[in-house]
Structure 1
Amino acid sequence: MTMSHDEETPDIHGFVLMGDQLVYGGHLAMFTMAAHRYQVIATFEFSAAVKKTYVDARRAAPTATFIVVNDEKLLLQEMVTNRRFTGSILKVIGNDLHDAQPIVSGVPAEITLVLHNRQFHDADDYPPKPSYLLFAQGSEAHVAHYMTKKPDYQLLADVTVTDSELTAAELAAGVRVDLQGVEENHTPPTTPIPPGTTLHALSPQGKKVTLKVTSTQWFDTKELNGQTNYSARLLEALATATV
């Protein structure tokens, strides 16, 4: 049965940040709310001072998650099109949005490149194999689970790339790869690719690549599949901002 979805309205959108050299962001999605029914992967640029604050905070708390959010409610596709917004970077401990603390607030943020921008549709089928979006620049590489429909999970991870038949240009633009020899349950209680996992993957063109997971940036089933709007929690965090 296809569920109905309300019309999209402006809201607060969170992007989980990845990378120290080039900063990537993965949109925190929700299948049950029209405003958040998108998977978006983009690169972000901040001032040198803001980026240093983020990088220093991330290195000081390597198990924390850092999320950039727009300070005023906007449509997601408006943000993607306009590329610029005023935002805050929040530090989240233990994957709990109730415990989101601003590390910097009210600063200019720019979306410099959109690697992936796709709306969810209930009629879509799950991929036959676990599918991930792989993107890399220089020595840093990341993957984001290719989400499909409810129920599903959201996972972003830092990886190292070896034995790759993919070009640097393909990795910079982002490429979808299918994991080989990995079973996937779309409602897993734990991350299916924990740190230390070595993965073998294939691109749609049959190019091989080996990935080793070094850290996971976000794993979520509750907000992604649930009825509660995670943006309300982000708004509460913004209200406490003192920076």
Structure 2
Amino acid sequence: MDHTDYKASGGNMNLPKYVTNMPHQHALILVGSETIYGVHMTQYHHEEHKYQMILELELPEPARKEYLRMRKTWPEMPLVLCNDVNDPLMVPDLGGGTRQDFAANFFPGLFPLDQLKPGEEESMHFFPWSADIMKPVMPEPFEVSVRRVVLFRPFNHQELLPQYANYLIWGEGEEAHMTHLQTAHMASNKYDAPAFGPDYDHIMSLKHAPDWVHPSLLRAGITVSVPSIRLRAAGKKRRVSLPTLRPFRYKQKFEVLYRGIGQPYKARAGYTFVFGPQVSTSPAIMPVPDMSLPGAEDPERTMFMKEAPMEYWADQRKTSNLKDEIGNE
């Protein structure tokens, strides 16, 4: 596919001449042990990342063994699979089956944001798992195969945030996982720079597969609402009220409503790998914590994603404090 029209189209989504995406690198959070899935990290304000997608993946044996070892060592660490910089692709390539395999590597955690260069995070081409920021786990890129697509969901900017949070539960055998079904509502008017949200990403596992879901339904994925997570405050104005801390701690029991109606069913939380609005929501409308509240400076209030161990930082990121280095120039 020729993407030469991208600059005249994808960069101006108000009146696209030709709808496409720029092939790019993408981040998938790896979950599962017996069956391994990759869950795409969303960004509402970047055309390339305006998708929720879950893929069942096959990793080559050395990468699979190392992934399982690291998952056992760091059970709540986000292990992030990224397609190689020399193998850029569009999310719809995978969601639509145009591509069944790609070159990739994976990384533990997120580089500490307070160690980034000033303005680096705001750069249009910023990618937290690039070679100048993070070291990959495996010495060389490896081939990843897509066994099937569990979910492919492009965002529609006219969708409204529901009153209560909706989630997808999916899995196989004794394992199950859960991710928040996000909205990317357009929050700006025609006189402002486009901004989308607010909403949050949440990727977690359950402690075990719920016994109230038929295995075929679990494999395909079911939708549930979570009455304990209210996204709009009560009252006529129904102001957005996102959770500021990850909703479920390890082993915590909670209730869900199948298809958002009927009797509640019980679930038990496993580990959370990603939670928060910081990556997905447009920066211009990021929720600001109320600093008068206890624990308002807790970083979990804007993003829960464990920091990368220093051994996986790129060498040049270890040598000095980047902010001090730039300030002395």
Provide TM-score, normalisation by structure 2.
0.63
Correspondence for 1:79? 94
Distance 2:107 2:40 in 1: 14
Contact 1:17 1:68 in 2 (8 A): yes
Q: Is the 2:111–2:134 Cα contact (8 Å) retained in structure 1?
A: no
Match for residue 269 of structure 2? 213
Q: Distance in 1 between matches of 2:210 and 2:53?
A: 27
For residues 166 and 195 of structure 1, what CA distance do their matches in structure 2 show? 21
Which sits farther off after the overlay, 159-168 or 14-23?
Answer: 159-168
Letter in 1 for 2:91: L
Q: Where does structure 2 lack aligned partners over 5 or more consecutive residues?
A: 1-12, 114-127, 185-196, 232-239, 285-311, 316-329
* Structure 2 residue aligned with 1:62: 75
Structure 2 residue corresponding to 1:102, chosen from 129, 136, 154: 136
Q: Deviations over 1:196-215 (max 9, x none)?
A: 33121122275753211121
Matches of 2:44 and 2:81, distance apart in 1: 20
CA distance in 2, matches of 1:5, 1:16: 33
* RMSD of Structure 2 on Structure 1 (CA): 2.8
Decide whether aligned partners of structure 1 residues 94 and 11 sit closer, same or farther in structure 2, where only a CA change above 3 A counts. Answer: closer
- Residue 326 of structure 2 corresponds to none
CA contact (8 A) 1:38 1:120 kept: yes
Distance 1:163 1:75 in 2: 34
Inter-CA distance 35–128: structure 2 relative to 1 (3 Å threshold): same
Q: Who is 2:250 aligned against?
A: 195
The list of structure 1 runs, each at least 4 consecutive aligned residues, that deviate by more than 6 angstroms after superposition, is: none
| Partner secondary structure for residue 182 of structure 2 | coil
Q: 31, 39, 47: which is aligned to 2:44?
A: 31
Higher mean alpha-carbon deviation, 204-213 vs 115-124, is at 204-213
- Whether the 8 Å contact between 1:64 and 1:94 is mirrored in structure 2 is no
Against the structure 1 CA distance between its residues 200 and 100, is the aligned structure 2 distance closer, same or farther, given a 3 Å change threshold? farther
CA distance in 2, matches of 1:218, 1:5: 34
Q: Which residue of 2 aligns with 1:235?
A: none
Q: Which has the higher contact order (CA 8 A, sep 6+)?
A: 1
Question: 1:240 deviation in Å?
Answer: 5.5
SS at match of 1:103: coil
| Equivalence map 1:121-136=2 (5 Å) | 121-136=156-171
Q: Rg: which structure is higher?
A: 2
Give 3-state SS (helix, strand or coil) of 2:137's partner.
strand
1:91 maps to 2:146? no
| Deviation sequence 1:126-163 (CA, Å, 0-9, x none) | 23321111012111111001111111110111113576
Contact 1:165-1:207 at 8 Å conserved across structures: no
Q: How many residues are matched?
A: 230
Q: Deviations over 1:62-108 (max 9, x none)?
A: 23110111112111111332121111111115886477441124101
Q: 1:73 to 1:163 in 2, by over 3 A?
A: closer
Give identity over the alignment, percent.
20
- 1:131-146 correspondence to structure 2 within 5 Å: 131-146=166-181
**Aligned partners of 2:21 and 2:47 also within 8 Å:** yes
Unaligned runs of 5+ in 1: 229-237
